[in-house]
Each structure stands twice: as structure tokens, then as C-alpha cells.
Amino acid sequence: MYSGRFKHLQHKGIDCEECGFVPEDRVQLDLVYKDGNKKNKSKNNLLTLCANCARLHNKKVRTGKKSILNATVDGDTRIA
């Protein structure tokens, strides 16, 4: 079914392993790497997550990298 390059996709589940979301179609689910290493395609490093949980997971994995979401804004600055 899957070529050798994409064989890890066979481990995609039918619902989100984090929040339990059950999609209408499996395309609504993402396969993410627990450790953030895309080269580590072992079954126990893969998680099936909904889009929201996948983004939260990836943000946690990237801890320490700068993000625009963590930027602080001076309260006196006005944008014209």
C-alpha cells in the first residue's frame, strides 16, 4: 500500500491520541514525531494527532526557539 519511503504512514490512527477527536476523514489527522526528529520513524515515536493538538505538540518540541507568539509588546507603542 505505501512505498518504502512512506511506510511509516501505515501507523496513522483513526482518532487523535491526545484529545480523542474522531474525524470525518483521516486527512484531518496528522502524524507527528514525539521527539521532533523526522528521521526517527519508529512506531513508538509516532503520534496521531488532530491539527490543533499537532500544533501544540510541535510548539512544545520547539521549546527554546524564538516565536512571534512569545513576543512582548510595549503598552505605550501605538500602531498607526
Task: Give the chain's mean pLDDT.
Answer: 78
Residue 37, pLDDT score:
85
Residue 52, pLDDT score:
93
Domain residue spans of the chain:
4-63
Residue 19, pLDDT score:
93
Mode of pairing for the β-strands spanning 46-50 and 29-33: antiparallel
Residue 9, pLDDT score:
75
Going from the C-alpha of 39 to that of each of 4, 43, 59, the distances in angstroms are 14, 12, 18
pTM over 0.85: no
Higher-pLDDT residue of 70, 53? 53
Q: What is the pLDDT of residues 58-74, one digit of tens each?
A: 888 887 544 444 555 55
CA distance 56 to 59: 5
